[in-house]
Structure 1
Amino acid sequence: QHRAGGHVSEQVGAEAGQIQEKQSIGHAAECTLGRIGLEGEVWMDVEAVLLPAHLSEAQVRGRTVVVFDVLRATTTMAYALRAGVAQIRPFGSLQEAAEAAGRFDGPRLLCGEVRCQRPEGFDLGNSPSGFDAALHAGRTVFMATTNGTRAIMAAGNAAALLAGSLVNAAATAAAAVRAGLDVTLLCAGTQGEPAMEDLIGCGAVLERMGDAARPANDLALIALRLFLQAREDLVSALVSTAGGRNIRAAGLQADIPDCARLDALDVVCRVVGDPARVVRD
């Protein structure tokens, strides 16, 4: 087991002690609850999954799944919710997002990316800095990205589904602990290939869970060690990845520091409903 530092560890530890009080009987019957040790300690098994294509049904049902697209979709979701958007509707394709937005009567934003850039006819791309509370509060966001929104949809059968990133790592970790279920950390990847920045994000949430978490596969341990190695200079770590190079090539290098702001946002991005909606918890 590993220990998180500072106030985050204290917060998570206190929540872990309350987990059993928060489970309803019906919920417990369907879900994979955290374990209780011989001395009364409570922990959750945490697995990491490298790509949505590797995700098994056993890693989804009855568990909390946290999806990571650090560069940039799940990071952008946290910024959008911080700016006060009402909800984010994720879609698997640009066409689906555009059609759904066209049918929507209320205030909305159509957001997405193709090869890192804003698609023609869309209101916004996938940059975290694109959302402004003065302009966008109360709007419904219709969002389609190459990797992140598709990964969220792949985990739709989870007992609890969160969108995680570096910027909301502590908030996401605390929410996972409150749920009291075993956890799957799902990397969105980049066009079907592993993405190191997503593993770093997984490691950040795992570390922030403190003693409430127990890595249950080697990939979770790898993610934790990658984060511990990278956390002193997360910007450099993200710049060095394939995703970071793609963003720089698109002229969007200013997005990378926005994605590297560890624990900057006290925002939990929870996915609810069918069709899926990402809302602030």
Structure 2
Amino acid sequence: MNNSRFDKVLVLIPARMSSTRLPGKPLAEIGGLPMIVQVAMRAREADVGRIIVAVDDQRIVEAVSAAGFEVVMTRADHQSGSDRIYEALTKADPDGRFETIINVQGDLPTVEPETIRAALRPLDNPSTDIATLTVEITDEHEKTNPNVVKVVGSPLSDSRLRALYFTRATAPYGAGPLYHHIGLYAYRRAALEKFVSLSPSVLERRESLEQLRALEAGLRIDVEIVNSVPLGVDTPEDLEKARQILGRKSQ
């Protein structure tokens, strides 16, 4: 780190061993390293704060530690990455020194460091509780694909929205851009503490979207518009794509 403004920023990377479509996903080899280590390296390149990997398996602990990154063991029964990072936060920082927490999913080995940095920008507004990211949809198929989560937001500037809703439907209706949500978050500590204390909400259960719990509870989410969606590795095909992307970058 070379900037004191990041002294109170903590990057937490949740990783769990069980994955239906890609067993042992955090340890899948990409460019000669486990995927979770590649994600930690992207976070280090972003240079925004201390990095801790939150895991549920001793094999991941050993792989992350061998690569020189800090790691915290968490329970295996967490229902979400948010719950896992909160347990890691309470273990790593019980005194509350860190004020901002960035949650980088452990299956984003090709995420651009600038994308991670962009997640912090909406928190420049003291009224913002949670920050996240989005990309304008250009693929017509994505506009109607329920696996592509859309942000419905009120524009704050050319590069930022205030989130009003998140949905798997095609929304909002009418002429204008649609936005693909990227599940990378930056939380104020108090907002994360409140979020994990809440029970799943009505709309969250209906849409199967955890972030709706925050909106229903009155937390403000602002969304930074970035240029590309990072590849999330969920299948063997995704894994091969990630290997190709990082292979090209190392040439």
Q: Same fold (TM over 0.5)?
A: no
More strand as a share of residues: 2
More helix as a share of residues: 1
Say which structure, 1 or 2, has more relative contact order (CA 8 Å, 6+ apart): 1
